[in-house]
Chains A and B, each alone.
Chain A
Amino acid sequence: MDYTAYSHNTSFGDSNVNCNNVTNNHNKIANVNKVIADENPEIMQWLSPLDPRGRHQDVRMDRFDCVGSWLLETKEFREWRSNECGVDKAVLFCHGDPGVGKTYLR
């Protein structure tokens, strides 16, 4: 559960379209995620035995960059992401039948 390493991997991940932003945000994320997992693996295990970040890495490995990005361009996603609409648009639910690619949206 090396969260710090995870932050690095993610921010230098496979969609570095805006390189400047990526570097900037990498620093920001690293700041926010001053995560302490390294020094407290036992506490983290006690909080929950589940490790969603490990699962996320698996999904990232299986996903193709070019696929599933249309959602990011939708009005619904942008409004949800922008935070401008306050609590009213705080929840976004994407539904689809099994196998349509919900997990691999990007």
Chain B
Amino acid sequence: MVDDLLDGPCEEDIAIAMFYCDFHNQQKQTTANIIGAILKQLLVRGGVLEDVRSAFRKEKAEVGGRGLRLPDMVRMLKQAIAALPQVFICIDALDECIPKHLLELLGLLKDILQESPRMRIFFTGRPQMEAEITKHFITGVIVSISPKTHDIERYLEKKLEMDAEPYGMPDDLRRRILKVIPQISSGM
């Protein structure tokens, strides 16, 4: 999806920031680290970058200098977004984020969106997350994702093409794989 946004025809310049929430990396994926990861994808020369740079130097000069404070990070993110023609933020697997951080993140994104009318946000997550999304973004558009038979067929064909030992598989088995798996999977 991200690549399609980049490749697709568009009249304006676009900038994309993405984030993949990951169950295995939950401890590191704090709200501040996620906002920071989004911000650094949207920094261009000049402007906000200079603010970031001076904040960095200031912190470094102090003993025990820490990271940027979350409110400062949010302020800089808003400025960075305002300086770009159009911004897409894509966040995958919301349910893999620690709930405390997720709620904070959604609240901040809501706040940022209110000041950034040209911004677009794309989320994915399990169905249970819908309530949180609609709570924060009342007019958010919801799409249900289910495996498409066509996609499964194409995926299997590709996987079979990549089989390192294709001669080990009888034609009959290949045909059954291509027929049965899509039938079962699309009934998920």
Contacts and interface: CB of A to CB of B under 8 A. Distances in A.
Given A25-B10, A48-B36, A102-B92, 15 more contacts: A21-B8, A47-B39, A47-B52, A70-B151, A72-B4, A88-B139, A91-B140, A92-B121, A92-B122, A92-B143, A94-B124, A97-B127, A98-B126, A101-B151, A102-B93
Interface string B118-147: 111111111101100100010111111111
B150 to A, nearest CB: 8
Interface of A: 3, 10-11, 13-18, 21-22, 24-25, 28-29, 31-37, 40, 42-44, 46-53, 55-56, 59-60, 64, 66-72, 74, 76-77, 79-81, 83, 86-98, 100-103, 105-106
Range class of the B interface residue count: 35 or more
A66 B146 contact: no
B37 interface: yes
B84 A103 contact: no
A75 B67 CA distance: 42
A84 to B, nearest CB: 12
